[in-house]
Amino acid sequence: MRPWFLSGWLVAIAAVAFLLVETRRLAEDAGRLEVELRAARAELATRAQPASVAPVAPTAAPAPAVEAADFARIALELRSTQERLAAVTGVLEAKNRQEAERAERAAILAARQNQPMPEGVRECLLALHELLRAEGFHGPRFLRAEAVGKDGLKHVELLEPDAGGFDVAVIQAARATATVERATGRFVLRFFDGERSVRGRSEPLTADGYTVVFAEVDGRAFEARLPYLVAVTGDYPAPKPSAERPLGDLDPLQRRPWIERLDQTLAAGGGAPRWRVQRLRGMHEGWFLGVELVGVDDKKHVVAGASCERLAVEVDAASGVVSLLLRDGSLRRNGVDSSITGEGLRMLLPDLDAKKTTDLMFGMVVAK
């Protein structure tokens, strides 16, 4: 048995016990006051008889003399006690009805929990869990449901932790709906005809239902995976126009082959340090744009670095000299930083010639 369920029953039992004790006490008070009232009424009746009439001999001990004011007080107390007794009896009867109804619901729920969930319902709840976890919501957890369809989940039970993770609410409802609000990006669960229990205290769900809201979700994923459950409202916002891409930008599929091609050319070029391409943004008219290089020694230790706005593999057809030409950037070597300005910086690739370089670069070279 769950702790919250046990504590709820203990509170209910204590309340019923108190009401029974209070009812018994009030009944005893009412009986005592009725006896006093009869005695007072008899005394007043005796006083009201004419003097010529001989009083009937009492068969029991005479009641004490009672004044009219005392009679009125006793009558008032009796009426008040009877009203309180009726009120407490009404509360007790209502409490008994509530406990009977609660016991009946608990019995029905226990019987349902002993029945295995239909496979389709189980798959639906698993999908809901996976979608919510993918959106970063790890707290709410469905315990069970009996059926699923366009009008929602039937006889569903959900655990709902609070933001601090200390208290857990148990929601039991006859029906729950799921809605994707396309315009706001919200996924909303709404529970009807049931109760929500926290710390052993239960409150009935309102006629409008109790909502659990998940903000900023990918509504399309919920629609695609649970079309038989999820209802939708509104329309998705129009996609924002993407910023214009800079001239010569390459997408990732285009960028990777050119980085590999440059690395092969630099590896074949020899020299020290050996240069590799760390980053490449784009290409334009034979120049590579937004390039970062790292230089490594024979032990593969990084010993130099360079970054530039433009880089080209330059071929001097007359002399056969091949160089890397860097412009508008900086070079770090031997712990010293220097700027690359003006005509740029040339780094020789001594092991390459014009033909081999042109073949390696598929013609993407610049002539000196």
pLDDT digits (tens, 9 = 90+) for 42-57: 665 665 555 444 455 5
CB 70 within 8 A of CB 37: no
Amino acid letter, residue 320: G
In a domain, 245, yes or no: no
User: How many of the other CB atoms lie within 10 Å of CB of 226?
Assistant: 17
Residue 335: give the domain boundaries.
252-367
**Helical segments of 114-161, H only:** 119-134
In a domain, 242, yes or no: no
What is the predicted pLDDT for the residue at 47?
A: 56
Q: Is the pLDDT of residue 12 over 70?
A: no
In a domain, 99, yes or no: yes
Render pLDDT for 185-203 as a digit per residue (tens, 0 to 9).
999 999 999 999 998 899 9
- Evaluated on CA atoms 338, 349, 300, 289, the torsion sign reads positive
Amino acid letter, residue 285: E
What percentage of the chain reaches a pLDDT higher than 90?
41
- Number of compact structural domains in the chain: 3
Rounded-to-integer distance, Cα 215 and Cα 213, Å: 6
Band (pLDDT 50/70/90 cuts) for residue 174 is very high
Question: Of 275, 286, 288, 274, whose CA–CA distance to 327 is shortest?
Answer: 288
Q: Is the pLDDT of residue 162 over 60?
A: yes
222 plus 307 within the same structural domain: no
Average pLDDT of the segment spanning 103-110: 61
273 plus 355 within the same structural domain: yes
Render pLDDT for 284-327 as a digit per residue (tens, 0 to 9).
888 999 999 999 888 878 889 999 999 999 999 888 899 999 99
12 plus 39 within the same structural domain: yes
What is the predicted pLDDT for the residue at 24?
A: 72
Band (pLDDT 50/70/90 cuts) for residue 268 is very high
In a domain, 58, yes or no: no
Domain boundary among 233, 264, 287: 233
pLDDT top residue among 40 and 292: 292
In a domain, 8, yes or no: yes
76 plus 152 within the same structural domain: no
Cα Rg of the chain (Å, integer): 45
Joined tokens for residue 195: 């109760």
Helix 3-48 to helix 68-113 angle, to the nearest 10 degrees?
160
**pTM score of the predicted model:** 0.41
Band (pLDDT 50/70/90 cuts) for residue 86 is confident
